[in-house]
Amino acid sequence: MPRLKFDMDIIKKIIIALLFLSLCNALNAQETKKDHYSGGMLFYQPGFTFAENGFQEIKGNSNAIGGILRFYFWDYFTCGVYGGSQTTHYNSNLSENSYMKLGYGGLFAGGSFKTGKWRFTASLFAGMGGVDNLHIERQTGTTLDDAYLYHYSVFTFSPIVSVDFYLTSKIALTFQTICLTSRTPDKQFFYNPTVQLGVLFNR
């Protein structure tokens, strides 16, 4: 946990630096019609998880919620902050109530360009995350007869490919694809390809 706190302190400093750069960019480009930033909620995120713990392989549909804040610099560069939380329910030996949850947050950078009502963006995300895994081997009714709860910190990364459609100059619909990837302490990989839909507010 101390290492996670240290990493989060670094992320906070980088976020402050990004906000300062965004302010400078806005002041330098205030007479143009270029976008300065976009931000909003990614409220619909169907995905599928491939993972493994000490008992079995884990495969199942996932649901998530999260958000993104993009800053635009020069003509094609973008960077910002991104995060969310996703949950995968799966069947174990004698239970249908096991789950694995990943919460994550960090920074991304990449390229972005706008043409007409469309914006296309490709970037790479990296940050810290935390995994909670309730694995139930045996359950009788609501009683957990044999269950295990794991919690550990992970480094998480993913490509982000997105297409935005501007409904107005201030509001856009966004469609994103990602593949969250982490490595557990026992050196097992966690993959979560996901489609994300949301609304962005632009300035």
CA distances from 1 to 106, 141, 166 (A): 16, 35, 41
Q: What gap in Å lies between CA 111 and CA 200, rounded to an integer?
A: 18
Is the model's pLDDT at 26 over the cut of 70?
A: no
38 C-beta neighbours (distance < 10 Å), count: 26
In sequence order, the 6+-apart residues with CB closer than 8 A to the CB of 1 are: 153
At residue 105 the predicted structure's pLDDT band, cuts being 50, 70 and 90, is: very high
pLDDT digits (tens, 9 = 90+) for 49-76: 999 988 899 999 999 999 999 999 988 9
Q: Among the CATH numbers 3.40.50.300, 3.40.190.10, 2.40.160.20, 3.40.50.2300, which is that of 2-202? A: 2.40.160.20
Check pLDDT > 60 for residue 200: yes
CB 135 within 8 A of CB 147: yes
Residue predicted with more confidence, 27 or 53: 53
Ramachandran angles phi, psi of 20, nearest 5°: -65, -45
For position 166, what pLDDT does the model report? 95
Do 104 and 180 form a contact (C-beta atoms < 8 A)? yes
Q: To the nearest whole number, what is the mean pLDDT of the chain?
A: 87
Higher-pLDDT residue of 203 and 33 is: 203
What's the CA gap between 135 and 51, in Å, rounded?
Answer: 13
Q: pTM for this one?
A: 0.81
Length of the chain: 203
Each domain of the chain, given as residue ranges in start order, spans 2-202
Q: What is the mean pLDDT of residues 129-156?
A: 92
Taking the C-alpha atoms of residue 172 and residue 163, their distance in angstroms, rounded to an integer, is 10
When pLDDT is averaged across residues 81-87 and rounded to a whole number, the result is 94
DSSP-H helix ranges across the chain:
2-28
